[in-house]
Chains A and B, each alone.
Chain A
């Protein structure tokens, strides 16, 4: 898991963050003023400062926040001036928005706040619907509004062009004040809660921000999303009472606490209405004591009552946001916060420490125990608290630094607000300088820890303190003088006061009896951005001594220790000394045959195909040269007759796990079986048994081929449609001319992990992208997954997770009486089905794809279906099956909508996550193995279509250091970099771009050149070699560009694929081309997703001659860019080749089937 932050505020208003990988609270030094409360999400943190304004701290990211402003310039032709800005009176404005209704001259665009800056000046967009335009970006039409074309015709009377300008949010990593609203300024805020990012994917980064004002009103901040992090305006939300505190979860849960102690629950929150529609009231958990605090997650609600008791709400979910009942929990807290994965943090009422709820899992949401987070704060000794505080005052939010000259404020006390016990009076001061002070109460230090309510006069007495640091206080909350000391109950009393009022109560002591920092007192904690779960190993709980210990260990990993080196050296010396001269001696123990047997099921070769019980045996022995070998036998009955099938281990080319929801099966291929497209398919009784066999067979296959340890840097990597990762060592003969090693003889072995895309180059840099778009870098290990013990390296193996969605369709047919219903015609598909409609898939009977996957969400409507949907997610069509559109027309009689449910897989492998930007494509510059290139260019496309260039990628640091964002005017989907740093990319609208001037000094290049697509095809994928560029279009046709280094010309377009390969997934390479093709005919069967190798590719014949078919049946992606073996061929005199000895880069990948191409 990537590192994320837990945020907290101490009673002095200092903001701290604690990293999930760290062991120290880091103070947020940037804060200009004290912060009262924070609410964090992963990308930013909101806070209420002591001036009661709201501040936003957007975490710096490699991905800038840029907003594209656009406006249109409109012109009309007249016989005198030609095209000019003289329009007809009935026409639109000369400068307008796309509809023409809004007048938008260039100078009308203003930066929304001081946190923004312009990136450059206005410029004309010269791309039009994926095609480059001529003549300064003008598009022509007969009249406004009409269809525009890029070509000027005889009847083109009007024209327009689009101007673009970007503004950039610059206030990263600092607390920037949210500009207050001009007229309807909400009164001072006292509580804030951010969440709601799971409600909708669109717009990207959308958040809900809820705030509570001192007068108990609730406000909702509208329009917060990635490109507009500040949001646009506050909307007041009508209330049934006065609210003191509110909590918003990641999804659609919003709860708030009323002054009177009841709770209210927001109902009607949905994708279309993130603000919700109404409130429902839930009584306080305890009849006598009102609630003071509530915290919600995805499907949990925690509450705290006035007596500091903690409560957990049963039965809360999206459909029943109110839940069903309260459960009392152990522990006494003043506040609780629920973060990601429904993890829970609290601040104890006893010692004001931050506690983490351990053992919270999706099946046990209430967790097990509270555990104190005991890590030091940075600079704990460095700043002694200025005027010190009486730590005893548990309600103290701000102490210390107070102006020397202070003024008695007008204090408006509102005793009605005070609740029964621990009654307090709310003091709201009007003047920002005013503050209230309780006479310091020199308390006995020994009781300090428990605290006690300090009496203070209701009117507020000022006592100047020595500190010079100015501080603006705007409001405080005082305990009413009670006269009685209540040692035990006191904390709670003051606690609810502060929770209720959300303002500060403080008392001042002239002197701090002991270092205030000895024991930090926390006021608020927010885990909304803190991504941990019950499996995550946190280092927050060790004592200081231990943490130092473990840190020093991590600084000097065992691998680098001298003792370890010594053992390795001495062992190899020992081998030299005791064995090297005596190799001719006889071995004492003769190698014998070792047999392992078991029973399995076998998918029999003859019809009717079915699973039959067989005995399975693996015989291992030492081969003639001392290498190990083996034979596997499958014993079966054929018409009462005992027969067997066998395969030599050294002929097995791959073992593929084929998990599905009913059987634990795997497939064994040999070259012969690959030709037949008919592997030996076996099913084990249990998953464990299957993994044991796979691990054993895999080790046995590797032994027989003498393969040990990690894959070489030149290895060829590929992934299957199940996400399994395979690697093959290229042999020098792979590109031999004229008789290369047939690709069906390549041996593939599995590497742990789960990826959708993998990409490599020959210096050993390998990157992968999971189904959840998370990027991973290869660590140099091997094994992981089901490889246990010896088949796996001990180091460099890490936990890897992946998440994907399972989709089902709800189908309905219209009938004249009842409209759309789930009653179809007898001939119709199932009313709940898969995409094809052939299989019934209901919400309850649909299982995760295999036992490795577990559900992690509920079924939700998927609105991101290609073709668009209506507000309820429906797509309409005349009949099943047909092409669907997102709105109902007269001709539509059926409709469907897609439901998605996320499932998650956890495995291990030699991969380390590269947070934080999710990717959809990645490309690494192919270079020769001996290349002296230090920093390797690596480009990627984020899952939102941003183009990114990775900095600092070297053989030693394959993960690189940071992303450089490369601006584009539209989202991209595919990218590839060639051996001479030629970067090509495909935009989502299918157009191709070339990035100019990419060099070592200027790794990101300077600008994009729009390359006309061959025959106006919409392209899907691009791959660049040394002199060739290949693309695949959306129909799976392959195109070849010949590229000369200085000039780009479309050389020719040819279908390199034979007729029977209906779809090609793409490819390309330098000299060699590999692709994944569908529907490859074997002698016995047909396979989809087959790895194919183009034979006969020569510098003078870049198209090659024929296809060689390799492993197949569900392959998704292959990269051979690491194979830098130069095919032995007659080399032409190098044409000013900047990178001699370039090898054969290639990559093949499948673009997402369900991708939603977004036009620009």
Chain B
């Protein structure tokens, strides 16, 4: 039987084949070839698209270039969501590769955050980790780390170094055995149909009676509609990292194994495809 460690590797090395095409409206000197890339599911768009930028800049004049942003079928893609979340939320059940349109003009300030440099991504990433640890350990673990430990987490993500990242991240995944889990599970539930960006509330991994909470328990409380009623057609898919875990999966286990590097469990609830 495979080991739980393999899940961590699979999660880390998840890749989405992507085809980047330049927006038709961009002014180019010659036609831009699409650019194909394997994007790490756990990383951020703006962190891994230097090559894309370089590719399209070759056909553009410098004065026509503003901040790069991405769009999929009319939806601007928020770089501060992990790539896997963006894909699961907007493009799961579509044909691969994932086709993303690249823009260099008309930055949609209302929808997207600006990302002038990698340090912004780093700040966002580290604040997520700190927020998650506040939920998990009252920030005790992350505060006990040194600056270089924080750097190691970030560098691990930035350079796609699984070992380097997990050598540090495992400390964030520890908990006292007698408590049976973290204080609260850091999770975010995303949905396509809502104006709310995501659902995030306090939720404990273990019930007051001492039994382990499951994914189903979480959804029942946070998003009851996601759970099909008895005998009813399944209306929603609950997707984490492109897979649909069973609702009886213990939440603590999910948090330890299927969280993104930012230590949050990102759960996408999407309508079941009709065909």
Contact = CB atoms under 8 A, between A and B. Distances in A.
Interface of chain A, main secondary structure: helix
Interface stretch (A525-533, A588-596, A865-873, A899-907): A588-596
Nearest to B244: A570
Interface in A512-568: 546, 549, 558-559, 561-564, 566-568
A549 B211 contact: yes
Interface stretch (B56-64, B190-198, B246-254, B260-268): B246-254
Nearest to B257: A567
B51 A578 contact: no
A579 B248 contact: no
Interface in A750-800: 788-790, 793-795
Contacts of A564: 249, 253
Interface in B1-30: 1-8, 10-11, 14-17
B7 A571 contact: yes
Contacts of B250: 558, 563
A585 interface: yes
B2 A568 contact: yes
Given A586-B36, A586-B38, A589-B48, A567 B249 contact: yes
B14 A578 contact: yes
A587 interface: yes
Contacts of B17: 578-579, 581-582, 585
Contacts of A379: none
A586 B170 contact: no
Nearest to A593: B159
A445 interface: no
Residues of B in contact with A, size category: 35 or more
B7 A567 contact: yes
Contacts of B160: 587, 589, 591
Interface stretch (B73-81, B120-128, B161-169, B217-225): B161-169
Contacts of A563: 245-246, 248-250
Interface string B232-275: 00000000011111101110010001100000000000000000
Given A562-B248, A563-B248, A586-B51, A594 B3 contact: no
Given A563-B246, A571-B243, A585-B38, A793 B5 contact: yes
Contacts of A585: 17, 36-38, 97
Contacts of B14: 574-575, 578-579
B99 interface: no
A282 interface: no
B38 A588 contact: yes
B37 A790 contact: no
Contacts of A589: 40, 43, 48, 158-160
A794 B49 contact: no
Given A559-B1, A571-B243, A578-B15, A592 B248 contact: no
A91 B6 CA distance: 81
A577 interface: yes
A314 B170 CA distance: 44
A568 B241 CA distance: 12
A579 B246 contact: no
Nearest to B209: A545
Interface in A697-728: 699, 709
Contacts of B36: 582, 585-586
Contacts of A794: 3-5
B10 A789 contact: no
Contacts of A546: 210
A974 B89 CA distance: 66
Nearest to B166: A790
Nearest to A542: B210
B3 A795 contact: yes
B270 to A, nearest CB: 15
Given A571-B7, A794-B4, A587 B248 contact: no
B159 A594 contact: yes
Nearest to A692: B167
Nearest to A583: B38
A790 B38 contact: no
B156 to A, nearest CB: 9
B153 interface: no
Given A568-B2, A793-B3, A794-B4, A588 B253 contact: no
A341 B272 CA distance: 61
Contacts of B243: 567, 570-571, 573-574
Interface string B95-121: 011000000000000000000000000
Contacts of B38: 579, 582, 585-588
A582 B96 contact: yes
Interface centre among A559, A564, A577, A788 (most CB of B within 10 A): A564
B273 to A, nearest CB: 14
Interface centre among A570, A585, A588, A699 (most CB of B within 10 A): A588
A568 B258 CA distance: 12
Nearest to B6: A568
B121 to A, nearest CB: 13
B97 A566 contact: no
B170 A562 contact: no
A581 B96 CA distance: 10
Contacts of B8: 790
A574 B241 contact: yes
Contacts of A790: 5, 8, 162-163, 166-167, 170
B185 interface: no
Contacts of A795: 3-4
B189 interface: no
Contacts of B242: 574, 577-578
B85 to A, nearest CB: 14
Interface string B165-178: 01100100000000
A869 B251 CA distance: 65
Contacts of A559: 1
A58 B263 CA distance: 56
B97 to A, nearest CB: 7
B39 interface: yes
B37 A588 contact: yes
Contact of B48 (A568, A579, A588): A588
Contacts of B158: 589
Contact of B15 (A561, A567, A579, A592): A579
Contacts of A567: 7, 243, 245, 249, 257-258
Interface string B69-92: 000000000000000000000000
Contacts of A558: 250, 253
A594 B244 contact: no
Contacts of B167: 789-790
Nearest to B256: A794
Contacts of B249: 563-564, 566-567
A561 B17 CA distance: 32
A1144 B137 CA distance: 54
A558 B4 CA distance: 10
A865 to B, nearest CB: 45
B168 to A, nearest CB: 10
The 10 closest A-B pairs by CB, nearest first: A582-B17, A570-B243, A588-B48, A563-B249, A589-B160, A563-B246, A585-B38, A571-B10, A789-B170, A574-B242
26 contacts: A546-B210, A549-B211, A563-B248, A564-B249, A567-B257, A568-B2, A571-B241, A573-B243, A574-B10, A577-B242, A578-B17, A579-B38, A582-B97, A586-B38, A587-B38, A587-B160, A588-B38, A589-B43, A589-B48, A591-B159, A788-B170, A789-B167, A790-B162, A793-B5, A794-B4, A795-B4
Given A571-B10, A594-B161, 11 more contacts: A570-B243, A571-B11, A574-B242, A578-B242, A585-B97, A588-B48, A588-B51, A591-B160, A699-B163, A709-B3, A794-B5
Interface of B: 1-8, 10-11, 14-17, 36-40, 43, 48-49, 51, 96-97, 158-164, 166-167, 170, 210-211, 241-246, 248-250, 253, 257-258
Interface of A: 546, 549, 558-559, 561-564, 566-568, 570-575, 577-579, 581-582, 585-589, 591-592, 594, 699, 709, 788-790, 793-795
